[in-house]
Amino acid sequence: MAPTATTTVAALAAALRDRILNGELGPGTRLIERTIVEEYDVARVTARSALAQLAAEGLVVTESHRGARVASLTEPELHDLFALRTALEVEAARIALAERPQELDAELSKAVDALARVCRAKRVVWRRIVDAHEAVPRPRARASQRSTSRSPASCGCSSSRCGRCGRPRR
């Protein structure tokens, strides 16, 4: 069965939606009809319809005589979005906990144990990194700061090692 115009528009809109949502088409990216027509091998009317559908969803902004571009979120919109998401996730967690408390408790315990293992492993790795850095000899004074004469009188040091460059005296 050949695809109908409706399914072609829906498929194109879904493909563009996926590219927008996964970040392949970032905020502000221009969506040029001609490019979409060539890339997806669809009619221009199909491309326009798919862009109109995405505009209705708020993913695309269309401007008269300027074409379409991927919508950008403003800071207040982002705050609203995260507030809404937080409220939805809290409610979803409350409902899930009421329906399956034992199952969620077991999953939560597994997640906490896994997180603890990761934290311990990271501590071990960081400790090894710190130890490796501490094992590397510290650079001595720059050559321009070193004394040209190695006598104790040149830097005021009377010990067997120069106080400025750390080299043994001869």
Over residues 136-146, the pLDDT tens digits come to 777 665 655 55
Statement: residue 165 has pLDDT above 90: no
Based on the fold, state whether residues 9 and 64 are members of the same structural domain: yes
Q: How many domains does the chain have?
A: 2
Question: H or E segment at 60?
Answer: strand 60-63
Write out the residue range of the structural domain in which residue 11 sits.
Answer: 5-70
Report the percentage of the chain scoring pLDDT > 90.
Answer: 37
**What 3-state class would DSSP assign to 132?**
helix
Based on the fold, state whether residues 51 and 66 are members of the same structural domain: yes
Based on the fold, state whether residues 85 and 33 are members of the same structural domain: no
- Domain-embedded: residue 138: no
Residue 35 CB-half CA count within 13 A? 9
Based on the fold, state whether residues 90 and 58 are members of the same structural domain: no
What is the model's pLDDT at position 1?
43
- Domain-embedded: residue 157: no
Based on the fold, state whether residues 102 and 65 are members of the same structural domain: no
pTM exceeds cut of 0.85: no
What is the model's pLDDT at position 50?
96
- Domain-embedded: residue 59: yes
Give the mean pLDDT of 62-91.
Answer: 88
